[in-house]
């Protein structure tokens, strides 16, 4: 399925919203996969995004690797380092979005720290992301009170702006963040960096409940989900289940790229069954 030219040039925030609404209509959470662009190579990263979408993921976050990743744990840092040493450029990230979206028709966001966008140019980045068929951005380190310029350009190009909330966020702060965001709210299930965890825990459920009290946006939970059982647990109370490190670890542990793709296809299928069993 290929996006229309109009969609490609106006962004796909509506596609993101309709995909999440579609999952809700099926009485299930959406499965959202995170994969860094350029890992293990640019072409390999594109193949990985397509593989998880074809195997059960509804939405993909494409990571823009950064040299100083404050939120990312060791697994994603390792993959980012491989991508950066391979010479990854923002153009390669946009190509990843374009080719994966054109091949699958699925909504694809970019997850990035603010500095690379600031250096690249906000207007240039938002225009090029929309032209690539991107659905929006997740910006974990951009404070809401400093986000007006970004949001203006993102809105102009039909891109969603997804902000991150944490268990430490007080209710008034949650309301401020959710009022500024669009697409969905990314609820970080715990304090700390990304990575798989033995338990996602009650704090995530409490955060979802408190966040929902401030907004009608879907609330999707990330940081820590690594298997079907955890996906099922989180899908019982969240609108979306976000999985990153577990996919990246499967690829890092694989003996070659083909085996890595097989491994993440298998994981996507297991997680997709998990989110469908959560309700």
Enumerate the active-site residues.
61, 72
β pairing state of 185-188 and 108-111:
unpaired
Listed residue (46, 58, 39) closest to 103, CA to CA:
46
Please, which residues bridge with residue 240 across strands? 30, 220
Listed residue (178, 195, 196) closest to 187, CA to CA:
178
**Integer Cα distance of 208 and 202 in angstroms:** 10
Contact 211, 174 (CB under 8 A): yes
**Region of residue 132 (phi > 0: left; psi between -120 and 50: alpha; otherwise: beta):** alpha
C-beta atoms surrounding 127 within 10 Å:
17
* Residue 89 CA from chain centroid, whole number: 19
Listed residue (212, 213, 164) closest to 186, CA to CA:
164
Enclosing H/E stretch for 104: helix 90-104
Contact 194, 72 (CB under 8 A): yes
The two tokens of residue 96 are 């990843």
Listed residue (144, 157, 150) closest to 121, CA to CA:
150
């Amino acid at each position: 399925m290929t996006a229309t030219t109009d969609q490609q040039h106006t962004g796909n925030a509506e596609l993101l919203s309709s995909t999440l609404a579609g999952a809700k209509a099926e009485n299930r959470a959406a499965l959202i996969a995170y994969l860094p662009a350029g890992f293990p190579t640019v072409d390999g990263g594109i193949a990985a995004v397509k593989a998880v979408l074809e195997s059960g993921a509804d939405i993909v976050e494409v990571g823009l690797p950064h040299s100083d990743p404050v939120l990312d744990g060791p697994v994603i840092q390792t993959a980012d380092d491989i991508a950066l040493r391979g010479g990854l450029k923002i153009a390669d990230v946009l190509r990843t979005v374009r080719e994966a979206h054109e091949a699958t028709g699925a909504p694809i966001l970019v997850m990035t720290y603010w500095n690379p966008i600031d250096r690249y140019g906000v207007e240039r980045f938002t225009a090029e992301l929309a032209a690539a068929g991107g659905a929006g951005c997740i910006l974990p380190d951009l404070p809401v009170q400093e986000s007006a310029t970004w949001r203006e350009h993102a809105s102009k190009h039909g891109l969603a702006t997804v902000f991150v909330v944490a268990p430490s966020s007080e209710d008034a702060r949650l309301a401020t963040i959710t009022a500024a965001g669009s697409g969905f709210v990314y609820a970080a299930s715990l304090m700390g960096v990304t990575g798989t965890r033995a338990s996602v825990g009650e704090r995530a459920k409490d955060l979802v409940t408190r966040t929902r009290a401030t907004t009608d946006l879907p609330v999707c939970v990330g940081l820590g989900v690594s298997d079907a059982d955890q996906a099922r647990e989180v899908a019982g109370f969240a609108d979306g289940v976000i999985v990153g490190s577990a996919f990246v670890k499967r690829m890092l542990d694989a003996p070659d790229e083909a085996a890595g793709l097989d491994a993440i296809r298998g994981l996507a299928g297991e997680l997709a069954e998990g989110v469908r069993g959560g309700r």
